[in-house]
């Protein structure tokens, strides 16, 4: 029976990092980004890569930059438009009624019906 002091999941003489088998870790830098809401997002990059100027905030999703005093402005979000909304933007009610009448007449003509 265990007394609660046993180290589980390892063996005696095990090495912690195993760097000799996997190689040395890449040198990295931590970069902080701030959004307009004041959230800080920290990301880690290798020293040899170009760090992006902007990153999306992990808290709110708004864009964040490296300049804490001057975070980027929030993007405007366009509302979702349905197909009917786009149709109504292109056509007036009169044009829609004319098109409907033409379509119904063509349908009736293909069936051999008279209006």
- CA atoms within a 13 Å half-sphere pointing along the CA-CB vector of 60: 13
Q: In terms of DSSP bridges, do strands 54-56 and 28-35 run parallel, antiparallel, or are they unpaired?
A: unpaired
The string of pLDDT tens digits covering residues 25-65 is 889 999 999 999 999 999 999 999 999 999 999 998 899 99
User: Is residue 13 scored above 90 in pLDDT?
Assistant: no
User: What's the CA gap between 71 and 60, in Å, rounded?
Assistant: 14
Name all domains of the chain by residue range, CATH numbers in brackets: 22-65 (2.20.28.270), 78-115 (no CATH)
* Six-digit token string for 67: 């300049």
| Stretch 101-115: mean pLDDT | 87
Q: What is the mean pLDDT of the chain?
A: 84
Kindly report, residue by residue over 64-100, the tens digit of the pLDDT. 999 999 999 887 878 899 998 898 889 888 998 999 9
Contacts of 68 (CB under 8 A, 6+ apart): 32, 34, 40
């Amino acid at each position: 029976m265990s007394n609660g002091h046993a180290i589980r999941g390892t063996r005696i003489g095990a090495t912690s990092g195993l760097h000799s088998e996997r190689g040395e870790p890449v040198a990295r830098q931590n970069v902080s980004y701030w959004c307009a809401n004041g959230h800080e997002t920290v990301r880690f990059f290798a020293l040899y890569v170009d760090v992006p100027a902007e990153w999306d905030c992990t808290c709110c999703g708004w864009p964040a930059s490296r300049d804490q005093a001057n975070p980027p402005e929030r993007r405007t979000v366009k509302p979702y438009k349905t197909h009917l909304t786009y149709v109504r933007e292109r056509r007036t009610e009169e044009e829609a009624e004319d098109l409907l009448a033409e379509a119904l007449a063509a349908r009736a003509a293909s069936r051999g019906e008279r209006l």
